[in-house]
Chains A and B, each alone.
Chain A
Amino acid sequence: MSTPLLETQGLTKTFGGLKAVQGVDLRVEANRIVSVIGPNGAGKTTFFNCLSGIYRPDAGTITLAGRDVTGRPPHQLCRQGLARTFQNIRLFPEMTVLENVLVAQFRHRVLSPVPLLLRSPAYRESEEKNCAEALEFLDFVELGARARNIAGNLAYGQQRRLEIARALATQPKLLLLDEPAAGMNPQETAGMIALISRIRERGLAVLLIEHHMKLVMAISDDILVLDHGIPIAHGAPEAIRQDPAVIKAYLGEEITA
């Protein structure tokens, strides 16, 4: 078997006495969509924050494309091909939509001071190439027409899509989406399902946190269920749907007299 794109072993994060994430093992193969679900407070976002380097895990390892990246800072993980979006949208609100995406291309730019200050032809060319690529990413999420607008003025659903375009612009191999369909109406959710499928078609793997069961069941290859930070089930959507432990975590135990 080939090395998985992302592998975690025994990943654990505690805040004081609270064990937010406990011993999570997860494998994400290239070009697959894996979902992490669980009730509120199950530790899904904490798990994501460990993966993307915002938190340093207390125990366990994270391997990205065969390389141990445990405890690396976010910008280095990004360099290794991992990008993410945030549950509470974190754009650069005062910048234009285009600039939001341009910032994400920083790691692909070779910057030396003299060509930058003198705006040498090579530098200008790379700037233009950058812009053209950024516009392509914006077109991909259907925001091309808003490129010159201030990001903070976009509608909520557009801001979510801009975050995805920005993450894609880092040219990742694995994209972490933290509740991309939160607060969306059925029509927008259908658009999001289509968008995530198109992201997979580009050859990316997607790791998804979502509460929207229809979305999760429609596109996931694999589902991991967390409850109180502990993985309680792992498998294909159909198996998860039937799993008694999952039903118990979501709905509580059936009262038997």
Chain B
Amino acid sequence: MARWRPYLLGLLGIAAITFPFLWLKLAPDFDRNTMRVEWAPAHGLQFFSDLSPAFLVALLIWLGSWSNRRWQWQARIASVIPAQRRPALARYAKCAVIPLVLSGAFFLSPGDLSLFTNVGIFMILALGLNITVGMTGLLVLGYAAFYAFGAYVFAMGQQELPWFPWWLAVPFAFLLGGGAGYLLGLPCLRLRGDYLAIVTLGFGEAFLQLIRNLPITGADQGIILKTSAIFRPGLDLDKHQVAFVITAVMLFVAVFLVERIHRSPVGRAWIAIRENEVAAASVGVPVVQMKLLAFSLSAAIAAVAGVLYGAKDGFVSPALGEFQLSITVLAMVILGGLGNSYGALLGAALLYLVPEYLKLLPSTIQQSPTLNAAIPSFMTDALGNLADYRFLLFGAVMVIMMLYRPQGLLGSSRRKEEMLHR
């Protein structure tokens, strides 16, 4: 209990400051031509009723972990599969995912396809950021700049050149993005931890201001891409299906690439640098080269994601490079588990899909008579409003994760290997 005291005191402090404001509102005072503070109990009640689904989910998670401690159901389910068969089963499961995902192009609605294409792009981004932040232990906060960089390489290329389709832009963006990552890496090599984070943040913001103000980047208006350059219907597939399939294939290639490197001497060198840079250098790991490689590869992957976004939406704007996007991708990587590629994928899917589905949930409930009858109406309204609170919920989830599961949802795959061979 003593361990939690500072956090509890902090939470109580925040609650004490914010609590009174939940019950107040500003109203115009026409007599004195100004605003006045009014007592509004309905607002406070609305806040708690809006958050009620979140409380419900928290309660369910707590019940799950409590019952697991009581009855060990997780271990019992796991014991059904013998330990030595598990790696092979995991490999088959991974391969089975590929046709499963691709077949999604034929039964998902265009809206869903567009949504999942976005999820795929965010997965690629999270996978790339995981290389620097998760594996090599270099905190990069200006990651969105590389995403925007890739998108602009594509957009400007197709503007200047007579023929520059997306598939030509992908290798270009990969190489140029890698070069940009290398150049950013050079001045950052001497920096560590927070200092590195601030410098990368600075570079990211500088790049964003650049594309906001240069005439050749279209400034704030952005660039509308030629239809000849972006995803087009073909092979009996419509535009959304093409975007989905290509993004999925790119994602599989990225996972393959990153995981092969992760499980090679290069990946081990990255992790060694994260674990202890001095020791890594003195056992012969070329720290400078390996860090630059990590920067380049992660930037190159982000740039490819940028091209995919441009080819999907047909429009590129400075909004791609915003700080909020860097933070969202970072949150995805941390939520899934630093250093675990599959964790990054899971984190990206959760943080992108949960708010999206929260928005859709009320209408789904209202359309189904059984659900409509089973769920009280205040809960339905609350689910709709919950999406507005998503950054509050992200924050709460991050704090809870740091306290209870700092290694992320999937955590490090190495720990699990040890459990298997004990």
Contact = CB atoms under 8 A, between A and B. Distances in A.
Interface of A: 52-54, 73-75, 77-79, 83-84, 86, 90-96, 99, 102-107, 109, 111, 116-117, 119, 127, 130, 148-150, 153, 166-167, 169-170
A92 B264 contact: no
Interface stretch (B160-168, B220-228, B269-277): B269-277
Interface in B61-75: none
Given A117-B261, A170-B284, A149 B418 contact: yes
A92 B275 contact: yes
Contacts of A53: 281-282
B327 interface: no
Nearest to A107: B284
B283 interface: yes
B414 interface: yes
A73 B281 contact: yes
Given A94-B414, A96-B414, A106-B265, 14 more contacts: A74-B278, A75-B281, A75-B285, A78-B284, A83-B282, A92-B279, A105-B265, A106-B268, A106-B283, A109-B265, A111-B265, A117-B261, A148-B417, A169-B283
Given A92-B279, A116-B266, A79 B284 contact: yes
A119 B414 CA distance: 21
A57 to B, nearest CB: 16
A75 B287 contact: yes
Contacts of B264: 111, 116, 127
B414 A84 contact: no
A103 B272 CA distance: 7
A111 B268 CA distance: 13
Interface string B385-422: 00000000000000000000000000010110110010
Contact of B260 (A95, A102, A117, A148): A117
Interface centre among B266, B284, B414 (most CB of A within 10 A): B284
B275 A104 contact: no
A91 B421 CA distance: 21
Contact of B284 (A96, A106, A130, A150): A106
A104 B284 contact: yes
B257 interface: yes
Contacts of B283: 78, 83, 103-104, 106, 166-167, 169-170
Nearest to A96: B414
B144 to A, nearest CB: 27
Interface of B: 256-257, 260-261, 264-266, 268-269, 271-272, 275-276, 278-287, 412, 414-415, 417-418, 421
A92 B276 contact: yes
Contact of B272 (A95, A116, A127, A153): A95
**Dominant SS among interface residues on chain B:** helix
A92 B280 contact: yes
B418 A95 contact: no
Contacts of B412: 94
A169 B276 CA distance: 17
A2 to B, nearest CB: 26
B67 to A, nearest CB: 29
A94 B271 contact: yes
Contacts of B269: 103, 106
B189 to A, nearest CB: 12
A99 B280 CA distance: 12
B414 A95 contact: yes
B100 to A, nearest CB: 24
Contacts of A103: 265, 268-269, 272, 280, 283, 285
Nearest to A123: B264
Nearest to B412: A94
B282 A54 contact: yes
Given A96-B414, A106-B284, A116-B261, A54 B271 contact: no
Nearest to A89: B279
Contact of B268 (A90, A95, A148): A95
9 contacts: A74-B282, A78-B284, A86-B278, A99-B268, A106-B269, A106-B286, A109-B265, A119-B260, A153-B418
Nearest to B420: A148
B257 to A, nearest CB: 7
A92 B278 contact: no
A102 B276 contact: no
A116 B257 CA distance: 10
Interface centre among A83, A99, A103 (most CB of B within 10 A): A103
Contacts of B284: 75, 78-79, 104, 106-107, 170
Interface centre among B257, B272, B283, B417 (most CB of A within 10 A): B283
B407 to A, nearest CB: 10
Nearest to A82: B282
